[in-house]
Amino acid sequence: MKEHPEKNWDYYGLSFNPNLDFKFVKENPEINWDYDSLSQNHNLDFNFVKENPDMSWNYSELSNNPNLDFKFVKENPEMSWNWFDVSQNLSLDFKFVKEIRRCLGIILD
């Protein structure tokens, strides 16, 4: 991309590509990243999200991302989770539902 900026790059496809290194995203903020696709990317490490809250994350897509785990949600309740999508995330089991109600009862009530 950097060697051929004149090319008509598909930023949606690049942002969704599971081989994308998020270090490259961080080092190249001038690129017109598609944050909906970045939020869905199966290579996304949620620590990257936490370390880069200023990026335009799509929290519905993050809430659906298969890499989402209970520990991360529990440790970061201040994030703008889409609780409907979190509840449908296949990577979370029913234990999560019981635990999240207990941990975040103030937020959910």
- 34 vs 42: CA distance, rounded Å: 14
* Per-residue CA distances from 14 to 10, 24, 93, 109 (Å): 6, 11, 31, 39
Q: Render pLDDT for 7-38 as a digit per residue (tens, 0 to 9).
A: 888 999 999 999 999 999 999 998 999 999 99
What is the pLDDT, as a whole number, of residue 26? 95
Q: DSSP H helical segments within the chain, as ranges? A: 11-16, 22-27, 35-40, 46-51, 59-64, 70-75, 83-88, 94-103, 105-108
Q: What is the pLDDT of residue 106?
A: 45
Say how far apart CA 34 and CA 37 lie, in whole Å.
5
pLDDT at 99 exceeding the cut of 80: no
- Say whether 19 sits in a helix, a strand or coil: coil
pLDDT in the model for residue 100: 66
For tokens 């509840």, name the residue.
87
